[in-house]
Amino acid sequence: MASRSYQDLVVWKKAMRYAEAIYAVTRTFPSEELYGLTSQLRRAAVSVPSNIAEGQGRGTKPELLRACRIAIGSLYETETQLYLAQRFRYVSMEQLNTLLLAATDVGKLLHGLMRSLDA
């Protein structure tokens, strides 16, 4: 496996921006959600680039593939939590759609990376 830094991976960069966007939107959530949906959403969003970095850092294709699978799971977790946030009226439909588009972009890149690792 190439010894590129995780910081060189486009998917990691986009996942970092996604996590930043999640933090920004959750700042507007009600204070009673601080230890609920806000915390869960932030943890799941941070998990996406963190797992990519961890998998790349382990230096083997199987480890990176495993970490990408975990990152995909965390990404889907954030999508579900965003749908809940919209149902609770913590985010607008426009915010939801913007964040879901970003999640889709990260997901496509993750799936592409996983396909390349399986080859």
Residue 58 lies in a domain: yes
Residue 94 lies in a domain: yes
Asked if pLDDT for residue 1 goes beyond 70, the answer is no
Residue 45 lies in a domain: yes
Q: How many domains does the chain have?
A: 1
Residue 92 lies in a domain: yes
Q: Which domain holds residue 90?
A: 6-118
Mean pLDDT of 5-19: 96
Mean pLDDT of 100-110: 98
Residue 28 lies in a domain: yes
Mean pLDDT of 62-76: 97
Half-sphere exposure of residue 85: CA atoms within 13 angstroms, side-chain side: 32
Q: Which residues contact 12 (CB under 8 A, 6 or more apart)?
A: 6, 49, 52, 53, 56
Closest CA to 46 of 70, 80, 10: 70
Q: What is the pTM of this model?
A: 0.94
User: Rounded to an integer, what distance in angstroms lies between the CA atom of residue 25 and that of residue 20?
Assistant: 9
Asked if residues 43 and 96 have their Cβ atoms less than 8 Å apart, the reply is no
Residue 1 lies in a domain: no
Q: What is the pLDDT of residues 23-61, one digit of tens each?
A: 999 999 999 999 999 999 999 999 999 999 999 999 899
Q: Which CATH number characterizes residue 102's domain?
A: 1.20.1440.60
